[in-house]
Amino acid sequence: MRSVQSKSAPQGEGLTPPRLLIPVGDAKHLLGDISTATLYRLFQRGELPSVHVAGRRFVRAADLSRYVAELAE
């Protein structure tokens, strides 16, 4: 059976851009399913910065990557 491809849709359409802000629940998961308490201790000690947007707390993707990279050093 032959696959039919649409010629009208540009390539790459429908791809989601990377998220710049990671919700706390996702950040916990990305850090190996650490506990909420552990994540908030990292915030309090200044080891992992966080930001508030519309009453919610997020971790910037760049800060999360930096934190993990520094663990390996």
Structure tokens at 33: 């399913």
Cα angle: 62, vertex 68, 72; to 5 degrees: 140
Residue 4's pLDDT is what? 47
Which residues, other chains included, contact 30 with Cβ-Cβ below 8 Å and sequence gap of 6+? 22, 64
Number of H helices, E strands in the chain: 3, 3
> What does the domain layout of the chain look like in residue ranges?
21-71
Work out whether the CA dihedral 41, 44, 45, 46 comes out positive or negative. Answer: positive
Mean pLDDT by 10 residues, the chain (73 residues): 48 80 97 97 98 97 96 80
Model-wide pTM > 0.85: no
